[in-house]
Amino acid sequence: MAWTRAGSRPEEWWAYEKQMPQPCDLGDERITLFEMAELTETELAELMPEWREEYEKANEPNFGYCTGDGWLRGEAAKRAQYRWAGIPRAFIRQVGCRAPPPCQDDPQARGATRRFRRC
């Protein structure tokens, strides 16, 4: 399949090999192929750095995702970015748990309370 993009298959592959419709966009196709364990080692080697970059972008402070009708912020923006980039949930869980947990000072408690993300 050297003539397709990493994380993508031709429409005929979906129709004849898997007997299912091709996902509507590249992000959904990548997620579906990952969950079906159909991505090759070469594809994973190409996609994982891209997924990491898009994950980090979505987790920057004040990240926003443009829907065309407006902007998403916070967790909704992150989820939309993950889906657009085709980042599988398993990858998000793995990367999220490896990152150092962000601590947030509670201004009400004057720094006495810190909350950490749970993995």
Please check whether residue 3 lies inside any domain of the structure.
Answer: no
Total domains present in the chain: 1
Share above pLDDT 70 across residues of the chain, in percent, rounded to a whole number: 79
CB 24 within 8 A of CB 37: no
In this prediction, residue 97 carries a pLDDT of: 74
Q: What are the CA-CA distances from residue 84 to residues 1, 67, 101 (Å)?
A: 23, 11, 25
The reply to whether 97 falls in a domain is no
Q: Please report whether residue 64 resides in a domain.
A: yes
Tell me which residue range forms the domain holding 37. Answer: 11-92
pLDDT tens digit sequence for 45-100: 999 999 999 999 999 999 999 999 999 999 999 999 999 999 999 999 998 776 55
On whether residue 71 sits in a domain, the answer given is yes
In a domain, 26, yes or no: yes
Is the residue at 108 inside a domain? Answer: no
**Model pTM?**
0.76
Report yes or no on 79 lying in a domain: yes
Structural domain contains residue 1 = no
